[in-house]
Amino acid sequence: MKTEYSEKLFAKANELFPGGVNSPVRAFKGVGGTPRFIARARGSRIWDVDGNQYVDYVGSWGPLILGHCHSAVMQAVQDALREGASFGAPSPREIRLAELVRQRMPWIQKMRFVSSGTEATAAAVRLARGFTGRDDILKFDGCYHGAADALLVKAGSGVETLGLPDSPGVPADVARHTPTLPWNDLAAVVRLFRDRGPSIAAVITEPVVGNMGVLAPNPDFLEGLARVCRQHGALFIVDEVMTGFRVGAGGACGRFGVTPDLVTFGKIIGGGLPVGAFGGRADVMDRIAPAGPVYQAGTLSGNPMAMAAGTATLEQLSAASYAKLEDLSARLAEGLAEGAREAGAAVKVNRVGSMLTVFFSGEPVFDATSARRCDAKCFGRYFHAMLERGIYLPPSQFEAAFVSVAHSVEDVELTIAAAKEAFAEAMKG
């Protein structure tokens, strides 16, 4: 496979951007090698600058549930652009998208649009603190909620309830207010609330984890979190930036039947353009400025092109779309598991809806500790063997692959055939 031009551009990019990229995981650090520079995309396929074609399972990390360049989304964005790229004043497209969101998720009584998932979760955390008058936010080890200070924290071993910053530049005083627990461990949450319940403003979680690879919630976990929050006067924030409109029309809350206080969105809600949103209970949302005292603002919030892309995307997503995604993804997961068995590779394929991860582990993977036990080196070899065969997977063991409505049965069969060889190659070491 020719990669000369990608290599040349990556050398140049390294002189311009730290690590050669504008977001870390794109740099292939988790798998080694040179990232491909992408020239164009359509449907389920992407093409790199050297002319190689791939079946794409990244989908811009989740937003492109309709595949690349869907005609309805392109038309909507072009129409919006023609009328003006941004006004900095209210415009009708914000109302259309908000009504679509509320139709599908009636627990979102009021919402605010922002420009990224990171902004949405940071604002939701500030709002929860402002609403409750408390400072602590409980998050779970391995869950990613964007790159804001308060959420860049995971547990240090042995001091799991003592927040330690994950990155230089995050003050210890900030991290101190983010206690962290193992995901899927409701008993630990109950214990933490017994100890310091009155100081906890909110619990924030990914309802299905995508940012540790795909992890499914235990049957009572999400409902249990909602219950503990209610008992202790804390807010339950469900971070649906990845799962919203992905695992079903009602997102994960709809799929699992849980009632959140606040929800955060990003990715699909912007149809591939930069967008995020947070929303939920009207009495909580009315504490946001200018209705209330908790400040939040954004020059490009509710941007007309982003609103148009999000609206067109949600309008295209029917019950039939989700049935197709479920069916294709199940086929893919089963084919991958079978291919691994044939090659003698110990893997666990975790899947919820159209999110899936092949974990190189013989044991069940259900939290950060069991995910970290996986053989990431073996995943790296598998990743490159797939890339060589024209299958573009997320370049890390700890990320979710996404199936889109644009993927076909042929794409899935091609992927399974490639994986049979890739598993065998990965096992050779």
Ligand X SMILES: *Cc1c(COP(=O)(O)O)cnc(C)c1O
The residues annotated as belonging to the active site are: 144, 239, 267
Near ligand X by CB under 6 A: residue from 57, 140, 144, 245: 144
What is the signed CA dihedral for 397, 403, 408, 410, rounded to 10 degrees? 10
184: phi then psi, degrees, rounded to nearest 5: 75, 5
> Can residue 118 be called a binding residue for ligand X (CB under 6 A)?
yes
Pick between residue 94 and residue 206 the one whose CB is nearest to ligand X. Answer: 206
Residues that contact ligand X, how many (by CB under 6 A): 15
Separation in Å, CA 314 to CA 41, 46, 60, 102: 21, 23, 17, 12
Q: How many CB atoms lie within 10 A of CB 283?
A: 12
> Can residue 241 be called a binding residue for ligand X (CB under 6 A)?
yes
Nearest CA to 154 among 19, 132, 194, 162?
Answer: 162
Pick between residue 3 and residue 264 the one whose CB is nearest to ligand X. Answer: 264
Nearest CA to 74 among 33, 31, 42?
Answer: 42
Near ligand X by CB under 6 A: residue from 20, 146, 272, 279: 146
Nearest CA to 68 among 43, 48, 38?
Answer: 43
- Map the footprint of ligand X across residues 370-389, applying CB under 6 A: none
Near ligand X by CB under 6 A: residue from 145, 255, 351, 389: 145
> Can residue 266 be called a binding residue for ligand X (CB under 6 A)?
yes
Pick between residue 117 and residue 279 the one whose CB is nearest to ligand X. Answer: 117
Pick between residue 228 and residue 306 the one whose CB is nearest to ligand X. Answer: 306
3-state SS string over 341-379? HHHCCCCEEEEECCEEEEECCCCCCCCHHHHHCCCHHHH
Nearest CA to 429 among 343, 350, 365?
Answer: 343
Near ligand X by CB under 6 A: residue from 6, 44, 121, 313: 121
**Only segment of 71-79, 236-244, 246-254, 380-388 that touches ligand X (CB under 6 A):** 236-244
Shortest Cβ 243–ligand X spacing (Å): 7
Contacts of 358 (CB under 8 A, 6+ apart): 336, 340, 347, 348, 349, 379, 382, 401
Near ligand X by CB under 6 A: residue from 35, 117, 251, 304: 117
> Can residue 239 be called a binding residue for ligand X (CB under 6 A)?
yes
Q: Taking the alpha carbons of 336, 356, 153, 275 in that order, is the dihedral positive or negative?
A: positive
* Residue 1 DSSP code: -
Near ligand X by CB under 6 A: residue from 181, 242, 333, 336: 242
> Can residue 311 be called a binding residue for ligand X (CB under 6 A)?
no
Near ligand X by CB under 6 A: residue from 44, 178, 211, 397: 211
Residue nearest to ligand X as judged by C-beta position:
117
Pick between residue 146 and residue 165 the one whose CB is nearest to ligand X. Answer: 146
Shortest Cβ 83–ligand X spacing (Å): 25
**Only segment of 128-136, 189-197, 239-247, 386-394 that touches ligand X (CB under 6 A):** 239-247
Nearest CA to 162 among 177, 179, 140, 145?
Answer: 179
- Map the footprint of ligand X across residues 71-100, applying CB under 6 A: none
Pick between residue 213 and residue 266 the one whose CB is nearest to ligand X. Answer: 266
What is the signed CA dihedral for 217, 219, 225, 230, rounded to 10 degrees? 150
Give residues in contact with ligand X (CB under 6 A). 116-118, 121, 144-146, 206, 210-211, 239, 241-242, 266, 276
